[in-house]
Amino acid sequence: MILPQEFTAYTSNLFGTGRWEHFMQSFSHETPVSVRLNPWKTSANPFPQSEPIPWCRQGFWLKERPHFTADPLFHAGVYYVQEAASLFLDYVLQQAVTAPVSALDLCAAPGGKSTLMRAALPDGSMLVSNEIDLRRAHILLENILKQGHSGVLVTHNAPKDFAKTNLIFDVILADVPCSGEGLFRRDPAAVKEWSPQNVRFCAQRQRQILRAIWPCLKDGGLLIYSTCTFNTYENEENVRWIAEELGAEILSVPVLPEWKIAGSLLADYHQPVYRFIPGTTRSEGLFMALLRKRGQTNAFSTRPSFLREQLKKYPFLHLLYDGLPLPQTKGREQIPSVAQALSLSVRETDFPRSELSKEDALRYLHREALVLPAATPRGFVLVTYQGHPLGFVKNLGDRANNLYPKPWAIRRL
């Protein structure tokens, strides 16, 4: 891998000789493959040849990369393919949040941290999962629906839009857009797009995002700030700016030495921050810091049970999904939705079910017509794989019309 000269000069000095050598050696190794199980849909690990990730209760490293697209369990939301370092969020939330909260994932697409966040938060919590880019927001929505939990609302808004409301959150995750240095090993395009100018641009944009959303965080509330980049401009220096300019205390999270997570790399700055560096940690790159907001202007947050209702009061907020899986109306007919199929609230008695073989499950995910067993009732049928719902068909007897969402369909290889 040929890295930009300016990146090499800066980052080798930042890391120091040992970490830099290990980082460069990591380019000659396969990138680690990891998954996170959905605790609401399975308690059994479908990957017997796997190794637990110590900072995430449902995280596992795999020995090799399977063909995830050809696994119906992946599409059923039984697990999520997620980079190991980002799973550190589970550990941070375990340490910091012990009671139900109203939470916001501000820059949520494609949904890995949002689905993890809702799984990690205490029962009774409510999460708003937001993405400013509409195309990415629909990818986020797909992943949220596959997770199946009703305590997640999906929105498509800019940070400044939330600041126009009276919504106040207990916890905000700001996994901000960054220069992507931590993606260099697995994404050559990130190398081509890197420049010192882009680093500075990202650092300033991150501050704009944080300043815009800051009024929506409760006094005493928690901000989790993260990037997938290495430089101090977007990391330590922005954390220091949050603390000094916006008013926050930087909190410590106890970690084990064997995890090999680095602390601050900014000279003479010794606040607790957490860095995952490829070659040192078994992961790609990640930076994370936990902060508590100071002040006494908004002592009360929006109660989790009221969050859905409150969110709907603001017509300028684009609500893509309110967490309630409802049927679709087409003429006089009520057509069950894929959100209903994948929801954790669906009951065995709600719809007739038909269990599919793996071959038929893949046909379904390709949006091909199926023929169900002769005893299957006519009408809308919930199809499952290994007991896990995938979606609906309309059974006509001689064939079953496929109702799997067209944008979600997988391609034949």
Choosing from 107, 178, 216, 228, which is the catalytic residue?
228
223 is written with which tokens? 């901000």
Q: What counts of helices (H) and strands (E) characterise the chain?
A: 13, 19
Residues 6+ apart with CB under 8 A from 315: none
Report the 10 Å Cβ neighbour count for 378. 12
**Is 228 noted as a catalytic residue in this protein?**
yes
Rounded Cα distance, 251 and 135, in Å: 35
DSSP state of 348: T
DSSP state of 370: B
Rounded Cα distance, 127 and 139, in Å: 17
Rounded Cα distance, 155 and 148, in Å: 16
Contact 170, 220 (CB under 8 A): no
User: β-pairing, 59-62 with 126-130?
Assistant: unpaired
Classify residue 231 as exposed, middle or buried by CB count within 10 Å of its CB (0-12, 13-18, 19+).
buried
Residue in 238, 246, 245, 244 with CA at minimum distance from that of residue 273: 238
Instruction: Give one DSSP letter per residue of 134-191, joined into a string.
Output: HHHHHHHHHHHHHH--TTEEEE---HHHHHTS---EEEEEEE-----GGGTTT-HHHH
| E strand map for 176-318 | 217-227, 248-251, 274-276, 286-293
Q: Which residues are catalytic?
A: 228
